[in-house]
Amino acid sequence: PDRRRRERPACAFRNRRVECRVRRAAPEGIEDNNMPGEPPVAIVMGSDSDWPVMSETVKLLAEFGVGCTAEVISAHRTPEKAHAWASSAETRGVKIVVAAAGGAAHLAGVVAANTTLPVIGVPMVGWALDGLDALLSTVQMPGGIPVATVAIGKAGARNAAILAVEVLALENEGLRRKLKTYREKMAAEVEAKSAQVGAEARKLARG
Protein backbone atom coordinates (compact mmCIF):
# COMPACT_ATOMS: atom_id res chain seq x y z
CA PRO A 1 0.00 0.00 0.00
CA ASP A 2 1.02 3.60 -0.61
CA ARG A 3 2.18 4.66 2.86
CA ARG A 4 2.80 8.24 1.75
CA ARG A 5 -0.57 9.15 0.36
CA ARG A 6 -1.70 12.64 1.26
CA GLU A 7 -3.83 13.35 4.27
CA ARG A 8 -7.35 14.69 3.77
CA PRO A 9 -8.36 16.89 6.69
CA ALA A 10 -12.09 17.04 7.23
CA CYS A 11 -13.56 18.91 10.15
CA ALA A 12 -17.19 19.50 11.05
CA PHE A 13 -18.80 21.18 14.00
CA ARG A 14 -22.24 19.98 15.02
CA ASN A 15 -24.36 20.16 18.13
CA ARG A 16 -21.55 21.09 20.52
CA ARG A 17 -19.51 18.12 19.33
CA VAL A 18 -16.50 18.73 17.17
CA GLU A 19 -15.52 15.94 14.90
CA CYS A 20 -12.21 16.08 13.12
CA ARG A 21 -10.31 13.27 11.60
CA VAL A 22 -7.17 14.09 9.71
CA ARG A 23 -6.70 11.13 7.44
CA ARG A 24 -3.44 9.34 7.55
CA ALA A 25 -0.26 10.53 5.91
CA ALA A 26 1.40 7.41 7.35
CA PRO A 27 5.08 8.22 7.62
CA GLU A 28 6.86 5.25 9.12
CA GLY A 29 4.13 3.44 10.86
CA ILE A 30 2.31 5.54 13.46
CA GLU A 31 -1.07 4.90 11.98
CA ASP A 32 -0.13 1.31 11.22
CA ASN A 33 0.56 0.75 14.91
CA ASN A 34 -2.69 2.44 15.57
CA MET A 35 -4.92 0.49 13.21
CA PRO A 36 -7.78 -0.21 13.16
CA GLY A 37 -8.54 2.25 15.97
CA GLU A 38 -8.73 5.99 16.26
CA PRO A 39 -6.03 8.42 15.16
CA PRO A 40 -3.12 8.73 17.63
CA VAL A 41 -4.04 12.12 19.11
CA ALA A 42 -7.40 12.65 20.82
CA ILE A 43 -8.31 16.25 21.61
CA VAL A 44 -11.04 16.95 24.11
CA MET A 45 -12.29 20.33 25.30
CA GLY A 46 -14.72 21.47 27.95
CA SER A 47 -16.87 23.63 25.70
CA ASP A 48 -17.35 24.58 22.08
CA SER A 49 -16.23 28.05 23.21
CA ASP A 50 -12.73 26.51 23.41
CA TRP A 51 -12.78 25.42 19.77
CA PRO A 52 -11.47 28.65 18.15
CA VAL A 53 -8.29 28.18 20.21
CA MET A 54 -8.12 24.39 20.02
CA SER A 55 -8.52 24.36 16.25
CA GLU A 56 -4.88 25.58 16.31
CA THR A 57 -3.87 22.16 17.66
CA VAL A 58 -5.73 20.39 14.88
CA LYS A 59 -4.20 22.65 12.21
CA LEU A 60 -0.65 22.11 13.44
CA LEU A 61 -1.08 18.34 13.77
CA ALA A 62 -2.35 18.33 10.20
CA GLU A 63 0.85 20.14 9.11
CA PHE A 64 2.81 17.21 10.54
CA GLY A 65 0.45 14.68 8.98
CA VAL A 66 -0.66 13.39 12.37
CA GLY A 67 -4.25 12.26 12.69
CA CYS A 68 -6.55 13.46 15.45
CA THR A 69 -10.08 13.49 16.73
CA ALA A 70 -11.60 16.41 18.61
CA GLU A 71 -14.73 16.61 20.71
CA VAL A 72 -16.47 18.48 23.49
CA ILE A 73 -16.76 16.71 26.85
CA SER A 74 -17.09 18.50 30.16
CA ALA A 75 -15.71 17.29 33.47
CA HIS A 76 -18.54 19.19 35.16
CA ARG A 77 -21.46 19.04 32.75
CA THR A 78 -20.96 15.52 31.37
CA PRO A 79 -18.91 13.82 34.09
CA GLU A 80 -19.94 10.22 33.29
CA LYS A 81 -19.01 10.67 29.66
CA ALA A 82 -15.63 12.19 30.63
CA HIS A 83 -14.92 9.14 32.77
CA ALA A 84 -16.00 6.62 30.12
CA TRP A 85 -14.20 8.42 27.29
CA ALA A 86 -10.90 8.56 29.18
CA SER A 87 -11.18 4.97 30.43
CA SER A 88 -11.65 3.61 26.91
CA ALA A 89 -9.14 5.88 25.13
CA GLU A 90 -6.27 3.40 25.12
CA THR A 91 -8.35 0.49 23.80
CA ARG A 92 -9.72 2.81 21.09
CA GLY A 93 -6.15 3.20 19.80
CA VAL A 94 -5.41 6.66 21.17
CA LYS A 95 -1.73 7.34 22.00
CA ILE A 96 -1.85 10.85 23.47
CA VAL A 97 -4.67 13.00 24.83
CA VAL A 98 -4.80 16.79 24.59
CA ALA A 99 -7.35 18.17 27.07
CA ALA A 100 -8.35 21.84 27.15
CA ALA A 101 -10.59 23.63 29.62
CA GLY A 102 -11.10 27.03 31.16
CA GLY A 103 -12.13 28.31 34.58
CA ALA A 104 -12.02 25.60 37.26
CA ALA A 105 -10.38 23.40 34.66
CA HIS A 106 -10.68 19.80 35.83
CA LEU A 107 -10.97 18.08 32.47
CA ALA A 108 -7.29 17.25 31.92
CA GLY A 109 -7.00 15.96 35.48
CA VAL A 110 -10.12 13.83 35.21
CA VAL A 111 -8.88 12.36 31.94
CA ALA A 112 -5.43 11.70 33.44
CA ALA A 113 -7.04 10.01 36.44
CA ASN A 114 -8.79 7.55 34.12
CA THR A 115 -6.00 6.61 31.71
CA THR A 116 -2.27 5.95 31.78
CA LEU A 117 -1.85 7.57 28.36
CA PRO A 118 0.13 10.82 28.40
CA VAL A 119 -2.21 13.78 28.87
CA ILE A 120 -1.32 17.28 27.73
CA GLY A 121 -3.40 19.99 29.40
CA VAL A 122 -4.15 23.32 27.70
CA PRO A 123 -5.51 26.05 29.99
CA MET A 124 -8.07 28.28 28.28
CA VAL A 125 -8.42 32.01 28.82
CA GLY A 126 -11.48 32.39 31.03
CA TRP A 127 -14.00 35.11 31.62
CA ALA A 128 -12.78 36.33 35.05
CA LEU A 129 -9.13 35.52 35.70
CA ASP A 130 -7.66 35.50 32.19
CA GLY A 131 -6.68 31.84 32.28
CA LEU A 132 -4.67 31.92 35.50
CA ASP A 133 -7.46 29.91 37.15
CA ALA A 134 -7.32 27.29 34.39
CA LEU A 135 -3.51 27.22 34.44
CA LEU A 136 -3.37 26.47 38.15
CA SER A 137 -6.27 24.00 38.01
CA THR A 138 -4.58 22.13 35.18
CA VAL A 139 -0.97 22.19 36.31
CA GLN A 140 -1.34 21.63 40.05
CA MET A 141 -2.10 17.93 39.93
CA PRO A 142 -1.41 15.95 43.08
CA GLY A 143 1.62 13.64 42.89
CA GLY A 144 1.02 10.44 40.95
CA ILE A 145 -1.33 11.70 38.24
CA PRO A 146 0.61 14.02 35.90
CA VAL A 147 -0.82 16.46 33.37
CA ALA A 148 1.82 17.94 31.05
CA THR A 149 0.55 21.51 31.13
CA VAL A 150 1.38 23.95 28.34
CA ALA A 151 0.87 27.72 28.07
CA ILE A 152 -2.51 29.45 28.37
CA GLY A 153 -4.45 29.91 25.14
CA LYS A 154 -3.26 29.76 21.54
CA ALA A 155 0.45 29.33 22.28
CA GLY A 156 -0.46 26.38 24.49
CA ALA A 157 -2.75 24.91 21.85
CA ARG A 158 0.09 25.02 19.33
CA ASN A 159 2.65 23.70 21.80
CA ALA A 160 0.30 20.84 22.67
CA ALA A 161 0.41 19.76 19.04
CA ILE A 162 4.20 20.00 18.90
CA LEU A 163 4.61 18.13 22.18
CA ALA A 164 2.28 15.39 20.95
CA VAL A 165 4.32 15.11 17.75
CA GLU A 166 7.54 14.97 19.81
CA VAL A 167 6.18 12.05 21.82
CA LEU A 168 5.09 10.19 18.68
CA ALA A 169 8.45 11.02 17.07
CA LEU A 170 10.23 8.92 19.69
CA GLU A 171 9.32 5.96 17.52
CA ASN A 172 8.98 7.66 14.18
CA GLU A 173 11.95 8.84 12.14
CA GLY A 174 9.73 10.67 9.63
CA LEU A 175 8.23 12.82 12.38
CA ARG A 176 11.70 13.54 13.80
CA ARG A 177 12.72 14.90 10.40
CA LYS A 178 9.56 17.02 10.22
CA LEU A 179 10.24 18.47 13.67
CA LYS A 180 13.77 19.40 12.62
CA THR A 181 12.45 21.10 9.47
CA TYR A 182 9.80 22.92 11.51
CA ARG A 183 12.47 24.37 13.81
CA GLU A 184 14.72 25.33 10.91
CA LYS A 185 11.82 27.15 9.26
CA MET A 186 11.05 28.96 12.52
CA ALA A 187 14.69 30.05 12.89
CA ALA A 188 14.75 31.29 9.28
CA GLU A 189 11.61 33.33 9.94
CA VAL A 190 13.23 34.93 12.98
CA GLU A 191 16.30 35.82 10.88
CA ALA A 192 14.07 37.42 8.24
CA LYS A 193 12.19 39.41 10.89
CA SER A 194 15.47 40.49 12.47
CA ALA A 195 16.72 41.78 9.10
CA GLN A 196 13.47 43.67 8.66
CA VAL A 197 13.61 45.23 12.14
CA GLY A 198 17.29 46.11 11.62
CA ALA A 199 16.50 47.83 8.33
CA GLU A 200 13.62 49.81 9.86
CA ALA A 201 15.77 50.80 12.84
CA ARG A 202 18.56 52.07 10.56
CA LYS A 203 15.99 54.09 8.61
CA LEU A 204 14.55 55.64 11.78
CA ALA A 205 18.03 56.34 13.16
CA ARG A 206 18.91 58.34 10.04
CA GLY A 207 16.00 60.64 10.94
Q: What is the enclosing helix (H) or strand (E) of 117?
A: none
Q: Is 98 in the site for ligand RP5 (CB under 6 A)?
A: no
Nearest to 56 by CA among 104, 106, 20, 96: 20
Closest distance to ligand RP5 from the beta carbon of 146 (Å): 20
Q: Distance (Å, rounded) from C-alpha 46 to C-alpha 6?
A: 31
Among 34, 55, 57, 74, binds ligand RP5 (CB under 6 A): 74
Among 47, 55, 137, 138, binds ligand RP5 (CB under 6 A): 47
Among 70, 101, 113, 148, binds ligand RP5 (CB under 6 A): 101
Our CB check for ligand RP5 shows the closer of 76 and 176 to be 76
Cα four-point dihedral sign 199, 202, 206, 207: positive
Q: What is the enclosing helix (H) or strand (E) of 133?
A: helix 132-139
Of the listed pieces 24-32, 95-103, 111-119, 153-161, which binds ligand RP5 according to CB under 6 A?
95-103
Closest distance to ligand RP5 from the beta carbon of 165 (Å): 23
Nearest to 70 by CA among 46, 90, 93: 46
Q: Is 67 in the site for ligand RP5 (CB under 6 A)?
A: no
Going residue by residue from 120 to 159, which x/- string records binding to ligand RP5, judged by CB under 6 A? ----x-----------------------------------
Residues in 164-203 at the binding interface with ligand RP5, rule: CB under 6 A: none
Q: Distance (Å, rounded) from C-alpha 140 to C-alpha 162?
A: 22
Our CB check for ligand RP5 shows the closer of 137 and 172 to be 137
Number of neighbours of residue 172 by Cβ within 10 angstroms: 20
Q: Is 97 in the site for ligand RP5 (CB under 6 A)?
A: no
Q: Distance (Å, rounded) from C-alpha 9 to C-alpha 66?
A: 10
